[in-house]
Amino acid sequence: MSTTTSNHSTGTPLTVLSEDEAMFRQSVREFAEGEIRPRVEEMEQHAKLDPALIKHCFDLGLMGIETPEEYGGAGASFFTAIIAVEEVSRVDPSVGVLVDVQNTLVNNAILRYGNTEQKRKYLPQLAEKSVGAYALSEAGSGSDAFALQTRAVAAGEHYRINGRKLWITNGGEADIFIVFANADPEAGYRGITAFIVERGSEGFSVGKKENKLGIRASSTTEIILEDCLVPKENVLGEMGKGYKVSIETLNEGRIGIGAQMIGLARGALDAALSYTAERQQFGKQINQFQGVQFQLAELAVELEAARLMVYNAARLKDAGLPFVKEAAMAKLFSSRAAEHIASKAIELYGGYGFVKDYPVEKFWRDSKIGAIYEGTSNMQLQTIAKLITTGKQTLVP
């Protein structure tokens, strides 16, 4: 059974959702409005997520959406996770990326590449109480992810890992990290291996927390590994196949960032629609001026296009069809749309848009990260170009 849901401002598009998906969307929206919105300003000021809110995310089942029920998760689809990220990001993209990284990167990597023992040990924790983080980037290894310098050396029943990771989302809250290190530098990228590392591991520490432009409540930290001992059973996937883990996981994660961006854009446009309906100049509401109406219409069209691109990529992924090109396109376009819509929302607010008493300046600051993390816009263009010119379906060797 399916249902068509629509919000005649800019909310849910005229797209077919299953009854369960529609109900889930509504429950997440109620949570976002009731529990997240009252905390947004304080979390922004203190640059820290409210621990009670993180617990609410676990209690509502938002941190293990695709995780099978046998491991304590909801056993739902990837598209369901995308709905959650979108709805949460409509109120606060900082919370949106918490949910996104947990589901589309950390849980996803363990579900796809973990062995039975790893799934039994870590997936219930990630579904019920433990935040996860994905540690790939380094100071000299951003877009060139395979240039990473973190090294792993066998030491009896452990690997000894040394290196520093930067820009780690959820680093301040996470207890479980997926860390990438090269265990065979002479093999180049084919020496890269993924490891599951727990916060309490010997030689592991969380370093500097970044003072960011946007998504300030979301922690972005340095991870320091100094002779960090990781049991050999914590190798995720095969030795030397970490490059495959990273590429394939990030392909799905980009759809999650697309969902964050369309949620953010919805929040900004909804705020602009509300404000222009209230603000009066020259004796009438400013949304009665054709010039304002046309701007709002253009933004609504841009948002709808971005949303449908994100939804299409998610549906392709769930259907087991090729989606890498569509994921790159969705992230590229949605990040551009979010920044543009939030910027125009500021202009529609006028002087009020430029001050922190109103929500749209935060949406604009939050939007900028969409063109940077989980693959910059230039890297998305490169991916799209390679796939359309070669006719290939994947970039993984």
CB 379 within 8 A of CB 371: no
Q: Could you give the C-alpha distances from 379 to 142, 221, 374, 385, in angstroms and in order? A: 11, 23, 9, 10
Dmax (CA) for the chain in angstroms is 79
Residues β-bridged to residue 280: 285
Q: Summarize the confidence of residues 350-371 as an average pLDDT.
A: 97
What's the predicted TM-score (pTM) here?
Answer: 0.94
Could you tell me if 230 and 161 are in contact, meaning their C-beta atoms sit under 8 angstroms apart? yes
Of 21, 173, 339, 374, which residue is the catalytic one?
Answer: 374
Tens digit of each residue's pLDDT (9 = 90 or more) over 203-259:
999 999 999 999 999 999 999 999 999 999 999 999 999 999 999 999 999 999 999
Question: Given pLDDT bands bounded at 50, 70 and 90, which one contains residue 145?
Answer: confident
Q: Would you say residue 2 has pLDDT above 50? A: no
Per DSSP, 38 falls in state G
Report helix, strand or coil for 134.
strand
pLDDT, tens digit, 9 for 90 and up, residues 191-212:
999 999 999 999 999 999 999 9
Q: Is 60 exceeded by the pLDDT of residue 4?
A: no
Tens-digit pLDDT profile for residues 331-358: 999 999 999 999 999 999 999 999 999 9
Work out the average pLDDT over 113-139: 98
CA distance 246 to 395: 12
Is residue 374 part of the annotated active site? The answer reads yes
What domains can be seen in the chain, in order of their start residue? 2-131 (1.10.540.10), 133-240 (2.40.110.10), 243-390 (1.20.140.10)
